[in-house]
């Protein structure tokens, strides 16, 4: 047997240098990971909101200068401050009667206007309770009221020289009485305020515009105060509340005309009203009974030969027994038709057994309509997408960053143990991993199936995710890799159930359906919404009902093709955790 030649000094030095370089690279990688973990553990500094000053805006005793207290006193901020005043006055003109001071306005309506300004103008979010918007509205309404009184007095003085032929009865008391009956304002601000008029010259534009720096505590965008009002849709709904009953009457008249022998032509305006009632995107969640006790809508007569229209009171809640769900503010045409039939049955024969099927249909439509409206409102408020591009979804899953995250879950038991979805999964199955592995998909527990949904991607999106995962795992990971990774965590953090001798493997389809598909969906949601992984899981849970309605469809599972025989199966691709927003946060201890 030939004896090996001893290594020369140069070869020994080269080998030692290679080992040193490899060790240096490992130390540098560990140092980077430690620094990344430290950066994640550091709490974000919450910037302090600018507090509201004492007193009232204006030149009266104890008043303050609004521009100065907003910290916009520099000349470079003149244009932005004037623009803020114009926006505030524009919203006040749109939603508030400018003839009344803020002390005579409805408090909830003013709060909604302030909230709308805070939503549209990012500058206002720097202040506690969006107080600059309220101060600007108060100042503007006070000036409008003062100017209106002065103009009326001047006009009355000037009218003394006009001829008597232009005299008409004084109708101002009637107008004030009608307005008082419609707008039951309450005094929610101290009336002892001076009607000091602010100069309107500040609204003129000046050249140059500067941005605001962080002066003394500018808040981040997410630091909106809880006192900010609701959305503008509530104001728009209040503004159109008086027209809703007329639109309902149009629908009943169309239904009556359709049943008559000689139907009268329906005007295009009525058809547009009927279509507007079916616009689900504009519907709002009804927190209280949307109809007053005296609200009536027309109903067709109980006699078939009579084409006259009688009036009946629209029910406030669902007429089904033991159901207290409120009726939608704008019922659909189908629901209105069923309500008319129910009313006619009660009017003709009283409460009969035959009406049970009808009330069940009404109850189903009421609940379905309310659920859909609530889901659409939540999606609008939270910014969830209503359309999912399935081709784009496949492309996003095939990116290197997402595939690296998938490999880190499939091939690394320690990484899997730190995943919040894995922890929740073990709690839902009560650590009965092998019993879950022996069960069919969808047959273990309803709670587990609910947690396995993919948020606003819905069943259609989950089917695409599952198919993409099957194709990726077949090309990349050995067929028993998932079972090896899961069983490496046996009895951690609590004892598991005992496996049967004939079956101790974890099916790949189960792992993909219950863990890997929601994991990928949470990664994509984190990218869409700009949040970390844990918040993305919460968004996924909150939007799952919305996804089931908007993107429905049967979940299809693609069976994994049999792998060809390999002499030595390739090792799983190591995870290259380079993402800082999802995976690194997922597995932080």
What are 404-434's pLDDT values in tens digits? 999 999 999 999 999 999 999 999 999 999 8
Residue 467 pLDDT grade (very low, low, confident, very high; cuts 50, 70, 90): very high
Tally of CB atoms within 10 A around 419: 20
Q: In a 3-state reduction of DSSP, which class is residue 309?
A: strand
pLDDT of residue 44: 60
Q: Which two tokens stand for residue 401?
A: 């960053």
Average pLDDT over residues 436-454: 92
For the segment 278-293, the average pLDDT, to the nearest whole number, is 39
What is the mean predicted confidence (pLDDT) over 184-213? 42
pLDDT higher for 3 or 389? 389
With tokens 């990116």, the residue in question is 399
Q: Is residue 160 classed as helix, strand or coil in its secondary structure? A: helix
Ordered by start, the domain boundaries in the chain are: 66-154+172-235, 243-382, 390-586
For residue 520, pLDDT beyond 90: yes
pLDDT score at 243:
45
Please give the average per-residue pLDDT across 531-556, as a whole number: 85
pLDDT of residue 57: 80
User: Where is pLDDT greater, at 324 or 17?
Assistant: 17
Mean pLDDT of the chain: 72
Mean pLDDT value across residues 545-567: 60
Question: Closest Cα partner for 113 from 142, 141, 72?
Answer: 141
d(CA 155, CA 446): 74
**Token pair for residue 136?**
């600007």
Per-residue pLDDT, averaged over 36-48, amounts to 71
SS (H, E, C) 198-258: CCHHHHCCCCCCCCCCCCCCCCCCCCCCCCCCCCHHHHHHHHCHHHHHHHHHHHHHHHHHH
What is the distance, to the nearest Å, from the Cα of residue 473 to the centroid of all Cα atoms in its chain? 34
pLDDT of residue 148: 86
Q: Which helix (H) or strand (E) holds 299?
A: strand 296-300
pLDDT digits (tens, 9 = 90+) for 294-316: 344 444 443 333 333 345 677 78
Cα of first residue to Cα of last residue in the chain, in angstroms, is 55
* Nearest C-alpha neighbor of 521 from the set 456, 574, 472, 569: 456
- Percent with pLDDT over 70 in the chain: 64
Of 20-24, 247-251, 392-396, 478-482, which range is least confident?
Answer: 247-251
3-state class (DSSP) for residue 230: coil
- The DSSP 8-state label assigned to residue 208 in this structure reads -
User: Residue 300: in which H helix or E strand, if any?
Assistant: strand 296-300
Neighbours of 549 (CB within 10 A): 14
> Which of the given ranges, 54-68, 95-109, 286-300, 495-509, has the highest pLDDT on average?
95-109
pTM: 0.43
- The answer to whether 469 and 515 have CB atoms below 8 angstroms apart is no
Stronger pLDDT, 352 or 342, i.e. the higher one: 342
pLDDT attached to residue 204: 39
- At a CB cut-off of 8 Å and minimum separation 6, what does 388 contact? 456, 457, 458, 460, 461, 551
**Residue 45 — very low, low, confident or very high, per pLDDT cuts 50/70/90?**
low
Question: Does residue 450 surpass a pLDDT of 90?
Answer: yes
Q: In sequence order, what are the beta bridge partners of 64?
A: 57
Looking at residue 452, its pLDDT comes to: 94
Number of H helices, E strands in the chain: 24, 2
Closest listed residue to residue 423, CA positions, set 519, 507, 493, 488: 493
> For 170, which DSSP code?
-
* 231 has a pLDDT exceeding 70: no
* In the predicted structure, residue 112 carries a pLDDT above the cut 80: yes
**Could you tell me if residue 322 is left (phi over 0), alpha (psi between -120 and 50 degrees) or otherwise beta?**
left
DSSP string, 59-81: SSTT-B-HHHHTT--SGGGHHHH
Please tell me the predicted confidence (pLDDT) of residue 242: 42
Interatomic CA distance for residues 467 and 559, integer angstroms: 9
Alpha-carbon distance of 403 to 575, in angstroms, equals 9
Tell me which residue has tokens 């008082």: 180
- Check pLDDT > 80 for residue 530: yes
Q: In angstroms, rounded to a whole number, what is the distance separating the alpha carbons of residues 443 and 429? A: 12
Residues paired with 326 in a beta bridge:
317
Contacts for 110 with CB less than 8 Å, ≥ 6 apart: 96, 102, 134, 137, 229
Asked if residue 347 lies in contact with residue 339, where contact means CB atoms within 8 angstroms, the answer is no
Residue 367, both tokens:
């609940």
Q: Which of the two residues, 27 and 274, has the higher pLDDT score?
A: 27
317-345 per-position pLDDT tens digit: 888 877 878 877 777 788 888 888 888 87
Higher pLDDT, 275 or 245: 245
* Per-residue 3-state assignment (H helix, E strand, C coil) for 439-473: CCCCCCCHHHHHHCCCHHHHHHHHHHHHHHHHHHH
Contact between residue 330 and residue 247 where contact means Cβ atoms under 8 Å apart = yes
DSSP string, 25-47: HHHHHHHHHHHHHHHHHSPPPPP
DSSP summary character for residue 354: T
194, pLDDT greater than 50: no
Q: What is the pLDDT of residue 572?
A: 42
User: Using CA of residue 527, residue 529, residue 530, residue 532, what is the dihedral sign?
Assistant: negative
What distance in Å separates the CA atoms of residue 285 and residue 329, rounded to the nearest whole number?
9
pLDDT of residue 278: 41
User: Which range in 44-53, 266-275, 483-492 is most confidently predicted, on average pLDDT?
Assistant: 483-492
**pLDDT tens digits for 365-384?**
888 888 888 888 888 888 89
């Amino acid at each position: 047997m030939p004896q090996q030649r001893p290594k020369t000094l140069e070869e020994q030095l080269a080998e030692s240098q290679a080992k040193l370089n490899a060790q240096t690279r490992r130390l540098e990688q560990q140092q980077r990971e430690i620094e990344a973990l430290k950066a994640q553990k550091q709490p974000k500094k919450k910037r302090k909101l600018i507090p509201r000053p004492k007193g009232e805006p204006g030149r009266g005793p104890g008043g303050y200068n609004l521009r100065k207290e907003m910290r916009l006193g520099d000349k470079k901020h003149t244009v932005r401050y004037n623009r803020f005043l114009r926006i505030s006055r524009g919203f006040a003109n749109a939603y508030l009667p400018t003839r009344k001071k803020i002390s005579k306005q409805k408090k909830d309506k003013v709060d909604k206007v302030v909230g709308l300004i805070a939503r549209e103008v990012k500058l206002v979010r720097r202040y506690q309770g969006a107080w600059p918007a309220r101060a600007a509205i108060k100042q503007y309404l006070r000036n409008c009221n003062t100017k209106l009184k002065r103009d009326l007095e001047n006009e009355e003085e000037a009218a003394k020289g006009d001829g008597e032929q232009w005299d008409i009865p004084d109708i101002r008391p009637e107008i004030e009485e009608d307005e008082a009956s419609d707008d039951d304002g309450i005094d929610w601000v101290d009336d002892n305020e001076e009607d000091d008029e602010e100069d309107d010259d500040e609204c003129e534009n000046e050249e140059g515009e500067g941005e605001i720096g962080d002066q003394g505590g500018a808040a981040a965008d997410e630091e909106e105060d809880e006192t900010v009002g609701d959305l503008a849709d509530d104001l728009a709904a209040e503004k159109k509340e008086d027209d809703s009953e007329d639109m309902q009457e149009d629908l009943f008249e169309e239904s009556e005309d359709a049943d008559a022998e000689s139907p009268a032509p329906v005007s295009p305006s009525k058809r547009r009203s009927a279509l507007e009632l079916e616009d689900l995107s504009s519907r709002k969640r009804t927190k209280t009974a949307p109809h007053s006790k005296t609200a009536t809508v027309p109903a067709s007569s109980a006699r078939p030969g009579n084409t006259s229209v009688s009036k009946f009171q629209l029910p406030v809640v669902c007429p089904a027994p033991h159901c207290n769900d409120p009726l939608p503010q704008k019922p659909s045409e189908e629901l209105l038709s069923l309500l008319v039939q129910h009313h006619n049955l009660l009017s003709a024969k009283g409460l009969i057994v035959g009406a049970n099927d009808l009330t069940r249909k009404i109850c189903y439509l009421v609940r379905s309509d309310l659920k859909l409206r609530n889901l659409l409102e939540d999606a609008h408020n939270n910014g969830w997408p209503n359309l999912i591009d399935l081709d784009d979804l496949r492309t996003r899953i095939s990116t290197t960053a997402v595939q690296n995250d998938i490999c880190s879950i499939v091939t690394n038991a320690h990484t899997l143990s730190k995943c919040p979805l894995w922890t929740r999964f073990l709690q839902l199955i009560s650590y009965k991993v092998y019993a879950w592995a022996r069960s069919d998909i969808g047959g273990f527990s309803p709670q587990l199936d609910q947690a396995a949904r993919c948020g606003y991607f819905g069943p259609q999106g989950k089917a695409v995710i599952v198919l993409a995962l099957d194709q990726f795992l077949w090309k990349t990971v050995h067929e028993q890799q998932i079972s090896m990774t899961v069983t490496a965590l046996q009895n951690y953090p609590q004892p598991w159930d005992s496996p049967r001798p004939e079956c101790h493997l974890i099916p790949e389809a189960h792992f993909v359906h219950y863990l890997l598909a929601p994991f990928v969906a949470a990664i994509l949601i984190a990218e869409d919404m700009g949040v970390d992984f844990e918040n993305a899981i919460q968004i996924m849970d909150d939007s799952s009902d919305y996804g089931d309605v908007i993107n429905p469809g049967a979940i299809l599972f693609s069976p994994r093709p049999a792998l060809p025989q390999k002499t030595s199966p390739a090792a799983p691709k190591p995870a290259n955790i380079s993402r800082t927003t999802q995976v690194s946060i997922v597995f932080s201890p």
